[in-house]
Amino acid sequence: MLKWLFTFAWRDSRGSRAKLFLFVTSMVLGVAALVSINSFGDNLRRAIDFESKTLLGADLSMESGEPFPATIEAIIDSLGGIQSRRTSFSSMAYFPKSNTARLATVRGQEPGFPFYGKIESDPPEAADTYLFEKGALIDGTLMAQYDIEIGDSVRIGNATYTVSGKLIQTPRETAAIMLFSPRIYVPLADVDTTLLSIGSRAEYEIYFRLDDIEDPDAIVESLSDTLEAHSIRADTVEEERSNWDQSLTNLYRFLGLVGYMSLLLGSLGVASSIHVYIRQRIQTIAVLRVYGASSHQAFAIYLIQALGMGLVGAFLGSAIGIGLQSMLPVILGDFLPVDVEFSVSWSAVLIGSAMGIGVTLIFAMMPLLDIRNIPPLAALRTDFDQENDRAKNKRAKWLLFGLMALLVTVIAVIQAPTLTMGLGYSATVAVVFALLAGTAKLVMRFLAAKPPSGVSFVIKQGLANLHRPQNQTLMMVLALGFGTFLVSTMIISESTLLGQIDLASTEGKPNLVFYDVQPAQVDSLVKLVEESDLPVIDRVAMISMRLTSVKGISIESMREDTTSELSWAHRREYRSTYRDYLTESETVLEGTFEGRYSGTGLIPLSVEREVAKQLEITIGDSLVFNIQGVDVAGYISSIREVNWRQMQSNFFFVFPEGSINDAPAFHVVMSRTETPEASAMIQAMVVKRYPNISSIDISVVLTVFQAIFSRISFVVRFMALFSIITGLLVLSGAVMISRFQRIEESVLLKTLGASRRTVLQIMTTEYFVLGVASSFTGVLLSLAAGWGVSRFVFEANFIIPFGPILLLIASVIGVTIVVGQLNSRGVYDKEALDVLRKET
Amino acid sequence: MDKVLEINGLTRTYKSGHGSLTVLDSVSFELMRGDTVSIVGPSGSGKTTLLGLAAGLDAPSSGHVKLCGYDMGSLSEDERARVRNKHVGFVFQSFRLIPTLTALENVTVPAELQGRKDAEKEARFLLEEVGLGDRTDHYPAQLSGGEQQRVAMARAFINKPDILFADEPTGNLDTDTGENIVKLLFQLNETAGTTLVLVTHNLELAAKTARIIRLKRGKLVPEQNEAVAHA
């Protein structure tokens, strides 16, 4: 009997295979997305495992914000192996050829590193030669931006280097990281040491290649207390590998979730198509029932067809997914630390296919359940009463609905980086789907209950199409609405984030910051800026310090006490200032801001709210800071709220005037330029005269943020595209399936005297309203989601980018109309007689 | 088993709006093996409802149907389907061929549902019998109305049914084709010794059966002595 069921299912699909194939295409992209992303993820993990040593470039590394103290140097000596040191710092790089300057991360490197893998450069030999010829390797983007060629010179501080080559890739750094701050590699021996003077931020690193018998993780474990006491971070291959593994797994799993969305949408499309398909098969099923087929046999025949669709979809999706996978390294390349070799991960293909088949089958079950309600009597009467039987199926449908929800949640939890994210994702999908479905139902109910009066025949007919039997309004709104929702949320998030840093154009606010200014240089720098007709908006002293005790308990003892936990606020190095006023970005929440220090007793301090929370301190609590070896005691006199988005020098701690004025400090001077040229000119002028002074042009920072975000959003949009295309495929399927009904209507209208134009206008009205309902609902939901993202993720002001959103709405409507019309082409051209004959 | 069909106090009521509508009201009759009977009556008199109930396609509101010894009311939907498969043949007004199957495949369906190995051989034989031996691989859309109805008859006879229900078998055919179909139907019926239940508007056709059951507003009109005329 099983064989017969399969044979009959195959025979019954004759004449509908093209249609069934079209239904299947709506789930193909979802499977493709999952297969490509999971397969890519597997390859990525393999690449990271395989190249784990090249990720760090060494067996062990140590990093410190200050030169290694004698204790640590002794440990370094005792560790032996082959060692290579590196000192990294931010500094202005001045290019004499173009008379331009740009803030860069300079890495002073000793020969040897990396011990595993290599620095990739163009020409390749430059990665070695620069170390011995006072050369420099410069980030490719920076070279292109400033038109630097090999052989040109670059000045950093008082040292001038010859550009040996272009930096392509180095251990521990991805292209995306380099976008934040371009890298310049120079020989450590040739670094201008004055740039590493007090107050300048530098990272001192040492890399080890140990003997094979040594276990780097065991070494770090045994030294952990000493290292922590000196604020030294140690890193091993295993730790580096697991960090990358974790963050990259999160990345591709997140993308997988977006792909999973396409699969869900596609499956809904399949379910909706099967629903209509089964309606068209009522007579066949009834005849089978008349001749003795049981309801289970009839059900099994169409379940087999659904299974076949799932298999075809899984196969095609896997094939496309494997093809797409080769594109992912190109799209994600900037975020990856290693080159990913292309190879097919069969486990990913299997999982993707299984998900595709499983989700298709379970979504197809819902319409297939109706088969059990088709009585043999339907062969005699077309107006058979199905309502009574529907009630019988209610329990089965609810059960199935629960199973669907469970499956969707389980897959989301498996796919998501964390359980909470998986559950949150399922909940969000459920809410968005429910709201979209609610909107669709509301539109249909409203149009059915209150057909518009006083409008033209064309509009009346077009609107009626949205709620007539076998309409696809619900599916359309779900599929297109969700795609719109994803893209729109991305656009809103992007503009909200960029809006926060788009301060360069704010009148009167500084957009050019000079820092690392030595006390003796402040006055002459201010003079230089003012002579260039630029305003000096602010000048602030910055003093580096660390906390040594909080509320009378030393940080040292807190570190030793395993019961107390040290927060970042306990451990960090602070840069504080002294002044007798509050800035525009500061508001006192508690206590009184003391602007002046009398010279005796504890110093009144003002602390930022979040730091106060982390340190668990309040008004009156005492603190001790260590400033360059000198302990300075104070108490909290006020707690401030700081608006960090204001382009201002903001501080966690503000000391009063007269308290730490004599401490070793460096200064920040802020100015404003109106044009990029003026900004470039003053920066070049300053760096030429004071090589140690660095500057940041906020508009450059903005450009960098834009570049980073555009790469991230490109990846997300690429994934969202799957949903949009799936939506359009579902639309095509829906239009195709109701094609005969449309032809009949068109013929009747034609017979009654409607022109081609009228028929086209009716269809356009229908698709227009579908597009409007889908895109507006999607956008409205995305506004809510965007608000949530801005409020809880970015903690920023919510900004609505009206232009791009309107463009998105117009595009969705336009594409819906075009796809709808394309699939309906030829409907008008059918001869009336052909159609009427077919009816009998 | 001489009694093939026993109908006793059969009533079918449908819910309609706030009230209920009785389409068939306390109908009783019996048919013996080899009987030929027509059910006639105006539109809405309950002919098709009676046919559906008698063949176990629908469940009565009250009363009993005993088909080939089975009390249809006590059987489940699927058990009734098995009884139909084994004992009942159908011919519909609009043929009801499965459009995606060829003529041969349409005929084999009831036999294949029984798991019969000789389904194809038997189907070919029956198609030869109805004069369509050369059209076995044609789809319904490639056949004329008369040809489609012949395929439907071959399908109806493939499981050698004890009783054949025919619902307006000539309703969708022109006069000449209709006459040929009727001839064939009675011929096959006689050869197989099947009980024939014919639902029709056509009194001329009804007159070809041994017995006529008249329905009016859901009730049986007392039978009169009809002029018996076999085809």
Q: Do A380 and B92 lie within an 8 Å CB cutoff? A: yes
Classify residue B15: in a domain, yes or no. no
| Distance between B56 CA and the closest CA of chain A, angstroms | 9
B57 touching A, CB under 8 A? Answer: yes
In three state form, how does the secondary structure of A432-493 look?
HHHHHHHHHHHHHHHHHHCCCCCCCHHHHHHHHCCCCCCCCHHHHHHHHHHHHHHHHHHHHH
| Distance between A314 CA and the closest CA of chain B, angstroms | 26
Cα A763 from Cα A459, distance rounded (Å): 9
Model confidence at B103: pLDDT above 90: yes
Classify residue B49: in a domain, yes or no. yes
Any idea which of A46-55, A170-179, A641-650, A752-761 has the lowest mean pLDDT? A170-179
At CB < 8 Å, which residues of chain A contact B?
A: 1, 4, 8, 11-16, 283-284, 286-297, 375-377, 379-381, 385, 840
Classify residue B51: in a domain, yes or no. yes
With contact defined as beta carbons under 8 Å apart, do B230 and B57 qualify? no
Cα A54 from Cα B149, distance rounded (Å): 78
Torsion sign across C-alpha atoms A34, A36, A39, A44: negative
> In which band, very low, low, confident or very high, does the pLDDT at A501 lie, cut at 50, 70 and 90?
low
Sequence spans of domains, chain A: 1-52+245-417, 54-243, 426-504+699-840, 536-671
pLDDT tens string B45-69? 889 889 989 988 888 899 999 999 9
Model confidence at A262: pLDDT above 90: no
Instruction: Give the residue with greater pLDDT, A588 vs A264.
Output: A588
| Residue whose structure tokens are 């079209």 | A22
| Residue whose structure tokens are 């570049």 | A707
In three state form, how does the secondary structure of A593-637 look?
CCCECCCCCCEEEEEEHHHHHHHCCCCCCEEEEEECCEEEEEEEE
Mean pLDDT of chain B: 88
- Planar angle of CA A626, A632, A638, nearest 5 degrees: 110
At A24 the pLDDT is 82
Cα B212 from Cα B198, distance rounded (Å): 9
At A470 the pLDDT is 65
Helix or strand holding residue A414 (H, E):
helix A387-415
> In which band, very low, low, confident or very high, does the pLDDT at A39 lie, cut at 50, 70 and 90?
confident
* Helix, strand, coil % in chain B, rounded to nearest 5: 35, 30, 35
Report chain A's C-alpha Rg in angstroms.
Answer: 34
Kind of pairing between the strands at B211-216 and B36-40: parallel
The 3-state DSSP class for residue B134 equals coil
Model confidence at A389: pLDDT above 60: no
Cα B4 from Cα B143, distance rounded (Å): 34
| Distance between A292 CA and the closest CA of chain B, angstroms | 4
With contact defined as beta carbons under 8 Å apart, do A619 and A590 qualify? yes
Cα A638 from Cα A632, distance rounded (Å): 18
Classify residue B169: in a domain, yes or no. yes
With contact defined as beta carbons under 8 Å apart, do A372 and A295 qualify? yes
Closest CA to A38 of A224, A260, A192: A260
Model confidence at A43: pLDDT above 60: yes
The CA distances from residue A116 to A58, A165, A311, B130, B230, in Å, are 6, 21, 45, 85, 102
Residues of A in contact with B81 (CB under 8 A): 289, 292-295, 376
Q: Do A291 and B98 lie within an 8 Å CB cutoff? A: no
Model confidence at A779: pLDDT above 60: yes
Cβ contacts below 8 Å, chain A against chain B, sum to: 86
At B228 the pLDDT is 45
At A57 the pLDDT is 85
> Considering CB atoms only, which of B81, B98, B110 is closest to A294?
B81
Task: For residue A289, give the chain B residue with the closest CA.
Answer: B81
Task: Give the ipTM.
Answer: 0.86
Please state, as a whole number, how many other Cβ atoms lie within 10 Å of the Cβ of residue A434: 10
pLDDT tens string A350-387? 988 888 888 888 888 888 888 888 888 888 876 655 54
> Considering CB atoms only, which of A291, A294, A295 is closest to B110?
A291
Q: Do A379 and B82 lie within an 8 Å CB cutoff? A: no
With contact defined as beta carbons under 8 Å apart, do B220 and B28 qualify? yes
Cα A15 from Cα B102, distance rounded (Å): 12
Question: Residue A510: how many CA atoms within 13 Å on its side-chain side?
Answer: 22
> In which band, very low, low, confident or very high, does the pLDDT at A709 lie, cut at 50, 70 and 90?
low
Residues of B in contact with A840 (CB under 8 A): 172
Residues of A in contact with B158 (CB under 8 A): none
What are B21's two structure tokens? 């509508």
Cα B50 from Cα B61, distance rounded (Å): 12
At B158 the pLDDT is 93
> In which band, very low, low, confident or very high, does the pLDDT at A572 lie, cut at 50, 70 and 90?
confident
Q: Do B90 and A379 lie within an 8 Å CB cutoff? A: yes
Model confidence at A415: pLDDT above 80: no
> Considering CB atoms only, which of B48, B57, B172 is closest to A290?
B57
Q: Do A12 and B92 lie within an 8 Å CB cutoff? A: no
| Distance between B49 CA and the closest CA of chain A, angstroms | 9
Beta bridge partners of A755: none
CATH number for position B47: 3.40.50.300
| Distance between A490 CA and the closest CA of chain B, angstroms | 47
Instruction: Give the residue with greater pLDDT, A581 vs A712.
Output: A581
Residues of B in contact with A287 (CB under 8 A): 96-98, 109
> Considering CB atoms only, which of B48, B98, B115 is closest to A284?
B98
Classify residue B2: in a domain, yes or no. no
Model confidence at A648: pLDDT above 80: no
With contact defined as beta carbons under 8 Å apart, do B11 and B65 qualify? no
Report chain A's terminal Cα–Cα distance, integer Å: 34
B115 touching A, CB under 8 A? Answer: yes
Residues of B in contact with A284 (CB under 8 A): 98-100
| Distance between A444 CA and the closest CA of chain B, angstroms | 25
Strand ordering across the sheet containing B88-91? B88-91, B163-167, B195-199, B36-40, B211-216, B219-221
pLDDT tens string A173-204? 766 666 667 889 999 999 888 877 655 678 89
For chain B, the domain total comes to: 1
- Identify the domain containing residue B106 by its residue range: 34-56+86-221
Residues of A in contact with B48 (CB under 8 A): 380-381
Any idea which of A804-808, B195-199, B200-204, B226-230 has the lowest mean pLDDT? B226-230
> In which band, very low, low, confident or very high, does the pLDDT at A398 lie, cut at 50, 70 and 90?
confident
Q: Do A12 and B101 lie within an 8 Å CB cutoff? A: yes
With contact defined as beta carbons under 8 Å apart, do A66 and A309 qualify? no
With contact defined as beta carbons under 8 Å apart, do A261 and A429 qualify? yes
Mean pLDDT of chain A: 82
pLDDT tens string A449-470? 887 777 788 888 888 888 877 6
Residues of A in contact with B85 (CB under 8 A): 291-293
Any idea which of A18-27, A287-296, A519-528, A797-806 has the lowest mean pLDDT? A18-27
> Considering CB atoms only, which of B52, B100, B155 is closest to A11?
B100
Helix residue ranges, H only, A545-697: 555-560, 568-571, 609-615, 676-689
Model confidence at A833: pLDDT above 60: no
pLDDT tens string A598-635? 888 899 999 999 899 988 999 999 999 998 788 999 99
Residues of A in contact with B82 (CB under 8 A): 292, 294
> Considering CB atoms only, which of A13, A293, A385 is closest to B113?
A293
pLDDT tens string A790-804? 777 666 678 888 998
Classify residue B147: in a domain, yes or no. yes
